[in-house]
Amino acid sequence: MKVYGVELKSRLLLGTSKYPSLEMMAKSVKAAGAEVVTVSVRRESAQFREGQDFWRIIRELGVRVLPNTAGCYSVKEAVTTAEMAREIFDTPWIKLEVIGDKGTLAPDVFGTVEAAQILAKEGFEVFPYTTEDLIVCDRLIEAGCAVLMPWGAPIGSGRGLNNPFGLKTLRARHPNVPLIVDAGIGLPSHAAAAMELGYDAVLLNTAVGVAVDPVAMAGAFRQAVEAGLAAHAAGPMPTRDYAEASTPSIGKAALS
């Protein structure tokens, strides 16, 4: 998978919040085989009180950082946060989030398109958190986004793929655009289902961070993503509205 000219072998992107400890986070990233981790610009050391240790571990892991604008509810706030992120992390990559609803954390698609246009003109390489709406995604590509990140379900809900038909349609609409399912993934089977639809990767955090055993869950997600990718490449059988016997009737014994 290539995103903005960078080749990635891993199809699993992982968040860095909600873990019980920094050590558990590091072990989970390794178990997931993730090459990219997301980090909120608003993330302070209050949770662990080990801010410097956090960055030391990130450097030791050797992963790429994808800063995000989580918690932003306006275009101005998201753009300002992205500009801060570029200074802090020294990367043009930004996961753009402009939230439109506090209850569902659904993206403000109008604000997201506007912010993406501004950031692309400023030289950012934008990873927009969006819905699977075809027109919105078209506008984001026109704004300069070379990758799209449609949600599977509301952030942190763990519901999986609420609209597989819409996601499949988006994949067919943009066969050459990297598509990453972001948000709502709760189980390895959800990740496998996204990959079976032909998606390029999945991004998740909560499902691993709050698991009883985050490291084991990260490993399970890694296997699920790899299995889903392999299944899609192998060419899944088409679904039917009727039964079809797998055993041929030719050669069947004739009983008098």
Specify whether 168 is catalytic: no
Q: Check: CB of residue 94 under 8 Å from CB of residue 86.
A: yes
Q: Check: CB of residue 140 under 8 Å from CB of residue 113.
A: yes
Task: List C-alpha distances in Å: 177 to 43, 144, 192, 210.
Answer: 30, 12, 19, 31
Q: Where are the alpha helices (DSSP H) in 62-131?
A: 75-89, 109-121
Number of neighbours of residue 218 by Cβ within 10 angstroms: 27
Q: Read off the tokens for 111.
A: 């604000």
Q: Check: CB of residue 154 under 8 Å from CB of residue 104.
A: yes
Q: Of 18, 95, 102, 121, which residue is the catalytic one?
A: 95
Q: Read off the tokens for 220.
A: 């399970």
β-sheet with 12-15: strand ranges across: 149-150, 125-130, 93-96, 64-68, 36-40, 12-15, 201-204, 180-182
Q: Which amino acid is at 245?
A: A
Annotated catalytic sites, by residue? 95
